[in-house]
Amino acid sequence: MEGLEIVKQSYGRACLNPKVIDRFYEIFLESHPAIKPMFHKTDFTKQKQLLKTGVIMMLAHLEGKAIWTSHLDKIAESHSKKHLNVSPSLYQYWIESLVAAVKEHDPQWTPAIERYWQKALHAGVDYITEQYEKP
């Protein structure tokens, strides 16, 4: 995927600041009224690590690394209708929140980097949401 290496480098730079994940959750939890209640019993120490790893898995999946695709499949299953029931319509808020948080913490951010992020995250989310209805 075009720009994927740029996205990985951007994510690496942003993650040098440990506040990037906290900032993501600040933005995300306030982005839609349905989101915050979904996290009311969440252990955020664990959740923050899951997010960091999940983004890496998504990017590796987009590189075509099959081992990471199997991990992304587990995320898709856990978020599917029969488990956590995360509506596909809510993923846009996840994308927007992650882009906003990384943008604040990547000192080399540009409009081109933002376009690559959008492209990558939409491709990864499309993969996850395609599995929403699976039995």
Residue 28 tokens read as 């995300």
- Model pLDDT for residues 111-126, shown as the tens digit of each residue: 999 999 999 999 999 9
> How much is the pLDDT for 75?
95
The predicted-structure confidence for 30-86, as pLDDT tens digits, reads as follows 999 999 999 999 999 999 999 999 999 999 999 999 999 999 999 999 999 999 999
- Whole-number pLDDT of residue 134: 87
DSSP code, position 133: T
Q: Around Cβ 38, how many Cβ atoms within 10 Å?
A: 15
Question: What's the DSSP call for residue 103?
Answer: H
Check residue 135 and give its pLDDT.
81
Q: What are phi and psi of 4, to 5 degrees?
A: -65, -40
Domain boundaries, the chain: 4-31+44-129
For 4-31+44-129, the fitting CATH number among 1.10.490.10, 3.40.50.11750, 3.40.50.1000, 3.40.50.300 is: 1.10.490.10
Among 31, 23, 35, 48, which residue's Cα sits nearest to residue 102?
23
HSE-CB of 89 using CA atoms within 13 angstroms: 3
